[in-house]
């Protein structure tokens, strides 16, 4: 990865990213918006976010809890009883308890991780935060990461929280996603585009 590839992410204009309207669609999006509006009205956005993210972490860490929330063979009654015990043990707020009750009653626990993700997207937008995902062919050092962060900040007009990931199949370059927009300068994509072009010519 050369220096130019490290910071060359200006091929797509991103000055409107921070202010763009966020659109949460689909089942998880609808539940997330409902929870967000309830939490906002109760002035408990931060605490609700903390609680559901802790719950999301538990689902990832516990095979038993993951099975409980995703298996279609577990009855609604058993799910409700187990979730009630979890709520009690974790000391979750009434807001989150009621929300989980609705999700469980509607047999949508399998969407809980997606709902949490969409809720966080809504909250980040509400706070004016901008997050970026940077996927590169090899791990970035601090100097490269700082250069990318500085470049994205100049494009967006505010600080950007950057998360990195390594994908060796990229063969060089990077894929940057800021908000709902993607900037792809990876060699893998360029080769794929070239191959598609050659097929059209052939």
176 and 134 Cβ atoms separated by less than 8 Å: yes
Which domains, and CATH codes, for the chain?
26-125 (1.10.520.20), 130-201 (no CATH)
Residue 189: both structure tokens together = 């994509």
Q: What mean pLDDT do residues 73-86 have?
A: 94
> Tokens 């967000």 correspond to what residue?
36
Residue 131: which H helix or E strand, with range?
strand 131-136
**CB contact burial 138-174 (16+ within 10 A = b; e otherwise):** eebeeebbebbbebbeebbeeebebeeeeeeebeebb
Of 46-55, 101-110, 178-187, give the lowest mean pLDDT range: 178-187
How far is residue 96's CA from residue 49's CA, in Å, rounded to a whole number? Answer: 10
Q: Identify which has the larger pLDDT, 187 or 121.
A: 121
Per-residue pLDDT, 141: 86
């Amino acid at each position: 990865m050369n220096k130019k590839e490290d910071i060359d992410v200006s091929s797509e204009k991103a000055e409107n990213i921070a202010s763009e309207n966020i659109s949460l669609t689909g089942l998880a999006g609808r539940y997330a918006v409902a929870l967000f509006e309830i939490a906002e009205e109760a002035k408990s956005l931060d605490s609700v976010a903390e609680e559901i993210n802790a719950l999301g972490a538990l689902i990832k860490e516990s095979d038993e809890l993951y099975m409980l929330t995703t298996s279609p063979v577990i009855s609604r009654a058993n799910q409700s009883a187990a979730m009630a015990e979890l709520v009690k043990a974790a000391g979750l707020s009434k807001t989150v308890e009621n929300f989980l009750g609705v999700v469980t009653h509607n047999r949508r626990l399998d969407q809980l991780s997606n709902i949490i993700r969409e809720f966080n997207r809504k909250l980040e937008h509400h706070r004016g935060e901008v997050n970026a995902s940077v996927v590169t062919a090899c791990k970035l050092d601090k100097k490269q990461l700082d250069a990318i962060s500085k470049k994205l900040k100049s494009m967006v007009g505010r600080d950007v929280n950057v998360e990195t990931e390594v994908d060796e199949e990229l063969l060089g370059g990077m894929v940057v996603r800021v908000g709902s927009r993607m900037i792809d300068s990876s060699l893998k994509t360029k080769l794929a585009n070239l191959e598609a072009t050659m097929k059209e010519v052939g």
